[in-house]
Structure 1
Amino acid sequence: MKRLVVLLGLLIISPLALAFGLDGLQKQLSEPAVVSGPFVQEKHLRALPQPLISKGRFVLARDHGLLWQLQTPLRQDYRITATGIDRRDPSGWQTLPSRSAGAEQNRLFFAVLQGDSSGLQRDFELALSGTAQQWQLRLTPRSLLLKQIFTRIDINGGQFVERIELSETQGDSTVLRMPESHGAAVLSDAQRNDFAN
């Protein structure tokens, strides 16, 4: 009888575990109005023995966009919204050309952090595994242009995105770690000001 109960339990639980799909991931990642935290970015270049490391903070606001604030080794702020990508200089926010390689990579980060599966599916084959608490998403490029840049993109997370690895065709890679992200209901005054100006 005990084995039967265990077997029935497994049969009931298994479909629920398998039910976590791209729609569930998108809903989970877009649930908080604001997600923010520190990040560490490692750029692994074939020509260098050690990775280039940069650190900073990010703010992802569902109704506004993404603030990407590099703090070391240099200070540089980016703002990614539906209208484009801006970089802050001493005179304020300046719009970047929409076709630059950096702009494309930032747009991709924005889609990934939001869990925008419909946006990502236009450019990638998506393969999701795991559960809502511990999931892995592999993006394999569809378009010829992206295939020339990336071999794949691997994303891991739980409640939020925790790690993104971009593997490039020439053997270089970028690893982005965001292990201390947290959600909030509203933006701080400073964050709201950064999105408004």
Structure 2
Amino acid sequence: MVLSMAFSTTSFAQNTQVTQIFKQLSATPTVRANFQQQKKLVSLNKTFVSNGEVLFSKQNGVLWQIQRPVQANLIVTPKKLVQKTQRTYSQIEIDKSPYGSVATMFLQLMSGNETALSKNFNIVSANYSATQWNISLTPKSGLFKKLFDRVDAQGQRYVDRIVITEKGNNMTTIQFSQHTTQPVQLTATEDALFKLAK
């Protein structure tokens, strides 16, 4: 009895922490930031770096504007994942690809959509304080488990860092900086890109 009471208290405390994290993330309709992604491939003993700007719009989705090593736009909405460069264009239905589902994880995390995120992930730990929060997720479905082992995210007011531990000890780290909530309105270019993934 004592054990079960202790366990339920821990679960409740963690649930409260999780709720606070997602409540904070869901409070902002638009976030813009710079990002740097480092993808470490153990088999090649190489780390690939890309960077650019990211726009999160609660109403529309996530727009990754990659500037280096190549220029490309990656648009993620609950329905589609679209990749567009000057010469190429491709799109996939989110529910027909595991990679599409992984892409929507960023959307669900940034929008503080705990319900959607919990369909595909277990929340294994969560800590929240006035100055910093962190959360760790593990995939629920067999499909996701084939791709990666866990996702760790941390931040202050917004998401600052996401680390995805993949199979074979490969790792993807995305660092966000210079967050701003302005401008709230999309530019004509941004709006046109989001419309591609409606």
The two structures have a TM-score, normalised by structure 1, of 0.81
Distance in 1 (CA, whole Å) between partners of 2:87 and 2:119 is 36
In 2: Cα distance, 1:24 partner to 1:130 partner: 7
* Change over 3 Å in CA distance of 1:149–1:194 after alignment to 2: closer
Number of corresponding residues: 181
Task: State how 1:119-130 maps to structure 2 within 5 Å.
Answer: 119-126=116-123, 127-130=125-128
Question: 2: CA distance between counterparts of 1:92 and 1:31?
Answer: 35
Q: Which secondary structure state, in structure 2, belongs to the residue aligned with residue 21 of structure 1? A: helix
Q: 1:189 aligns with which of 168, 187, 190?
A: 187
The offset of 1:42, in angstroms, is: 0.2
TM-score, normalised on structure 2? Answer: 0.80
CA gap 1:59/1:47 in 2 versus in 1, 3 angstroms = same
- Residue 94 (structure 1) shift: 4.8
**Percent of paired sites with the same residue:** 25
CA contact (8 A) 2:18 2:128 kept: no
Residue 25, structure 1, aligned to residue 24, structure 2: no
Q: Equivalent residue for 2:77?
A: 81
1:135 maps to a residue whose letter is: W
Distance in 2 between the 1:82 and 1:142 partners?
A: 19
| CA offset digits 1:64-115 (Å, max 9, x no partner) | 1111111100111011123311222448965324334442331122112222
Q: Write the distance in 1 (CA, Å) between the matches of 2:20 and 2:112.
A: 10
Larger radius of gyration: 1
Structure 2, gaps ≥5 residues long: 1-12
Where structure 1 has 5 or more consecutive residues not aligned to the other structure, the ranges are: 1-16
Distance 2:78 2:14 in 1: 33
Distance 1:121 1:102 in 2: 17
1:62 maps to 2:58: yes
How far apart are residue 168 of structure 1 and its match?
1.0
Q: Once superposed, what is the RMSD of the aligned Cα atoms?
A: 2.4
Q: 1-side partners of 2:165 and 2:116: how far apart?
A: 20
Structure 1, 105-114 or 156-165: larger mean CA deviation: 105-114
2:34 pairs, out of 31, 38, 62, with: 38
